[in-house]
């Protein structure tokens, strides 16, 4: 396991996103309902950055074409998005958010 620190929990408002660049990858870190989620920042449909989108319950809406993804699984939930976005399991320790860089991508 290779833990990577992304940011502090208190850097993200509820129902908001934060763009975090770390270890050569750009992440969209979201907070919704007190839970923290981490997704790849790049939309799979077009040039939109998910961190510039909106949190709508358990979904993130891309600002480019308003397609949506499930924050928990990365699966598309609203067109025109059809391909899942990469997600990581967020771990919170002492108020900081970490991911395992080596976590395998989730299937389906």
What residue segments make up the domains of the chain, in order of their start?
A: 3-100
Average pLDDT, the chain: 94
- State whether residue 51 is helix, strand or coil: helix
- Quick one: pLDDT band at residue 107, thresholds 50, 70, 90? low
pLDDT at 77 over 70: yes
Q: Tell me the mean pLDDT in the region 66-72.
A: 96
Round to whole Å and give the CA distance between 83 and 8. Answer: 29
Band the pLDDT of 101: cuts 50, 70, 90.
confident
What contacts 104, CB < 8 A, 6 or more positions away?
none
Q: What is the pLDDT of residues 24-59, one digit of tens each?
A: 999 999 999 999 999 999 999 988 999 999 999 999
Q: Decide yes or no: CATH 2.102.10.10 for domain 3-100.
A: yes
Structure tokens at 31: 């907070």
Q: Which long-range contacts (CB under 8 A, 24 or more apart) does 62-68 make?
A: 67/43
């Amino acid at each position: 396991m290779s833990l990577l620190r992304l940011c502090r929990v208190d850097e993200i408002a509820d129902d908001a996103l934060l763009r975090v660049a770390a270890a050569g990858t750009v992440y969209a870190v979201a907070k919704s309902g007190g839970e923290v989620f981490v997704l790849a920042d790049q939309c799979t449909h077009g040039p939109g950055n998910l961190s510039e989108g909106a949190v709508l319950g358990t979904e993130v809406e891309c600002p480019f074409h308003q397609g949506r993804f499930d924050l928990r699984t990365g699966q598309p939930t609203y067109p025109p998005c059809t391909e899942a976005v990469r997600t990581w399991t967020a771990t919170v320790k002492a108020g900081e958010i970490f991911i395992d860089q080596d976590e395998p991508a989730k299937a389906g």
